[in-house]
Structure 1
């Protein structure tokens, strides 16, 4: 089995886990269920790897890549966009498909074209057809609704408002707040955290606790060089809410050797460590 075929096998499995019905063009039946993922769907350019249908309507596209392409998966975004804007066979209208995915057998990137300034982000799994149907039924995405009248919400406004009414519970008040502090705002509003603190401060606290637990479970503690890299990864999470392989192309990580250096230090543990850190630092 080729690397490409193996990746598609894993993608098929993940789609089925999320409730999608997988079909080939020769057995096309869009009425088979709420969500149908059609392989090699014809467009006016080339066949798209997968086109996603919800309630018989084309809503998204998946560009599939072999696992070795995971480190540069963002490069495939232009291909996904090309298929999303292509004319699909047997489809009326030329509106671009909203939901864009790039996927290997291990990594999934997602872009919602209805967001203000759409950009891709790594997600843990494909969304269920019911979820996409719910989003499609909403007139605007949550991101767009928050930034428009009458709310016109920004992180700075929310933080300042809490500082005025609950000053004894708000830490690190400043004139500028990072986008990542939205997580801290949500956790405080939901009652998950007793104090409203900058997101980066909470990440630092959780990082220390995670390293302590991790070292206690290992035969040997992380080396100094590994700790330097873990701190770089932690800092990236504090500024971006997560870390994935593509992020090693950013300057603060690339300047220290990028993904190649990280693999040299952590080997096969790297992906597991990133998953742990994303969960421990953010969830």
Structure 2
């Protein structure tokens, strides 16, 4: 599954870079999302595979913080990029005549740069909070990566303030992008309903279908992970939810964006033909 994730996302990136027909804002954001998905799954899965092969589950304190930092960097980057892509679809459908003026290369670059800066801030805040915790000797994390909710349960000092701050940061950095996506789709649906022809409505809906599927998959599995960690005390259920979140979601994104997208399929076909 990890190899399929890497291959699928790399093919999306190569297709967008190699095909001039895909040099548009939508596919530019898609290629950055694929890079984020590669980083997202690579922050945890290679270490898990290594642990399985060597029958060792040891990670240093510094290594744990580094893994946590990269994990939250790419999780937040995924979230902000999905918001940027929702904004792109909002401009394309609600302001089609001004689309190329609004979504110019400089504006697109600034949106991606802003997403990176927000994601770095989020990851460093999580890392700073976790570095303040004190742990007893021989701590065993009941998970396959260093997840803050699990680390909070294992800390020896009082974690009530850290717990409040962690969930506050989660609401800010997760809730604000999700609110932006919901608002964008509210405006998109309002605009689509005003289209007189059914064919026009269908065409407008199709342009958003892939992105909407990716948003539902990402936020649905993400909510499942954190609800399972707070509501359920079963370690197995939490681990299964995390595996779906960290492996299945990045693996399915290339399929979501390519199976019903003629431009991507043509670009991949041309890329494979050129390679062979």
TM-score normalized with structure 1 length: 0.28
Between structure 1 and structure 2, the one with the greater Rg is 1
The structure with the largest strand share of the pair is 1
Structure ranking higher on relative contact order (CA contacts 8 Å, 6+ apart)? 2
The structure with the largest helix share of the pair is 2
TM-score normalized with structure 2 length: 0.28
